[in-house]
Amino acid sequence: MSNNDTILKVENLSKQYRLGLIGTGTISHDLNRWWYKIRGKEDPYLKIGDVNDRSTKGNSDYVWALKDIGFEVKKGQVLGIIGKNGAGKSTLLKILSKVTSPTTGKIKTRGRIASLLEVGTGFHSEMTGRENIFLNGAILGMTKKEIRSKIEEIIAFSGCERYIDTPVKRYSSGMTVRLAFAVAAFLEPEILVIDEVLAVGDAEFQKKAIGKMKDIAKGEGRTVLFVSHNMSAIKSLCTEAILIDKGRVIYRGTPEDTVDEYLKTEKKSNVLNKEWSIEEAPGSADCKLLGVRANVPEKSLFISNDLELEFNIENLSDKERDLNISIVFYTSSETPAFNVISDVYKCNTGKFTITAIIPKNLLNVDTYSVRALLVEDTSKPLCNEYNVLQLSFLEDKRDVSWYGKWIGAVRPQELITWQISQHNV
């Protein structure tokens, strides 16, 4: 690394995985690689493999989770890493943290790297919290003297004083993350690598963690690599950001510009309109669901905006019908988030539209699929269509000061009424 300010340099980094139950480290593969190597030829498995697109069925048993990644990070920089689920962000962090090794490429660093990737990573469940502090410090290359000088600060910041001499296996996930972050932050690594594991913590700890990350970068001049799906956190915390898609870096720039580029790619992945011809439209012989449309702003889908859904229907009979629409939203893990049913409408012959307004700040940061049912007389389904729309929601702002993924399938803050009664003593 020629530039004295560069603390991390990634060159042509790639990671290949084999799909299925058998990995690439089999005897037959190793022998094949050895045979090619002694003949002075390239590893044969580097010439095969599909791109990292989880939504399509590939033609190979090999996939490139990362492909030819390259970037530099300077001292004191906070680099945000964003992208869709499965884009390769966590794989990149695991390689940087030496949890796994790259297939090809090099990583050059100046100084120690501390990582917070998953709940419990680097902790021994049978050891106490105090013992794990010394264990993690030793892994980071700290001496016992250095760790002892920081241990009281670590324990106080984590808020786990009462349990510090209890085995970690008895900690909740939130307590484990609290202690792990405190260890990573206070043992003074030159590079701090954080995945969105901080979302496990509560609101009070989220605020403390973000404040500490800002102090680390701005006050102490250390470097932070931060992965998050929270766009407001990326914009407020990071000095620069990269966008990863299908295992490749496709954009690097200011946090604002990188987020805008991400929103464009997210919008392309959305399915905002589904239409059928009259012959193929679902429904009965004389009543059809012709289409479903999500009317959204031009830029992207934000949870802070109302969502308008239109259901276009045609009554082909010559009589009035009692019809209503039922909508089911499913999360990205196929869990039903909620089910809503419209009023019953008396519909004359011809085409008409039933519109639903999903209120802002109800849906969470996630990709939802929409199921639509056209129902007659409140109990007779005329059609039941799954995956008519796919909607990926992002967060553009938040009214509270902490960051991290808001847990739950929905977040109905606008629908909840809070009251306080003052009782004077």
Q: Are strands 240-245 and 78-82 parallel, antiparallel or unpaired?
A: parallel
- Phi, psi for residue 102 in degrees, rounded to 5: -75, 155
pLDDT (tens digit, 0 to 9) for every residue of the chain, 425 residues total?
Answer: 556 688 999 999 988 887 654 555 566 666 766 676 777 776 665 655 545 554 455 556 677 889 889 999 998 899 999 988 778 888 898 898 888 888 888 899 888 887 777 656 678 889 999 999 998 888 777 788 888 998 999 999 888 889 999 998 898 877 888 888 888 778 777 888 887 666 555 667 777 777 777 787 777 778 889 888 777 778 878 899 999 988 899 999 999 889 888 877 766 678 889 999 999 999 999 999 999 999 987 656 888 888 999 999 999 999 999 999 999 998 876 788 999 999 999 999 999 999 999 998 899 888 898 999 999 987 888 999 988 999 988 877 655 544 556 778 888 877 777 776 667 75
pLDDT at 264: 73
DSSP 413-425: GGG----------
For domain 6-111+190-267, give the CATH number.
3.40.50.300
Is the domain spanning 272-392 CATH 2.70.50.60? The answer is yes
- 167 is written with which tokens? 């085995």
Q: Which residues contact 399 (CB under 8 A, 6 or more apart)?
A: none
**Tokens 């809503």 correspond to what residue?**
340
pTM for this structure?
Answer: 0.62
- Give the pLDDT score at 18: 72
Kindly list the domain boundaries of the chain, sorted by start residue: 6-111+190-267, 272-392
pLDDT at 289: 95
Is residue 116 within 8 A of residue 195, CB to CB? The reply is: yes
Give the CA angle between residues 306, 307, 313 to the nearest 5°. Answer: 140
Q: What's the CA angle centered on 19, arms 18 and 24, to 5 degrees?
A: 25
On the 0-12 / 13-18 / 19+ scale of CB atoms within 10 A, 421 is: exposed
- What would the DSSP string read from start to end of 166-212? SBGGGS-HHHHHHHHHHHHHHT--SEEEE-GGGGGS-HHHHHHHHHH
Same fold, 6-111+190-267 and 272-392: no
DSSP 22-82: S-S--HHHHHHHHHHHHTT---GGGG--B-S-TTS--SSSEEEEEEEEEEEEETT-EEEEE
Burial class (CB in 10 A: 0-12, 13-18, 19+), 350: exposed
pLDDT of residue 123: 82
DSSP 8-state code for residue 161: G
Residue 336 CA neighbour count, 13 Å, CB half: 8
Instruction: Assess contact for 387 and 330: CB atoms under 8 A.
Output: no
How far is residue 221's CA from residue 217's CA, in Å, rounded to a whole number? 5
CA-to-CA separations, 339 to 35, 144, 287, 358, in angstroms, rounded = 59, 56, 23, 12
The whole-number pLDDT of residue 244 equals 92
CB 7 within 8 Å of CB 193: no
Instruction: Please tell me the distance from the alpha carbon of residue 415 to that of residue 338, in angstroms, as a whole number.
Output: 14
Q: What is the pLDDT of residue 130?
A: 93
Burial 35-51 (b: 16+ CB within 10 A, else e): eeeeeeeeeebeeebbe
Residue 129: which H helix or E strand, with range? helix 129-139
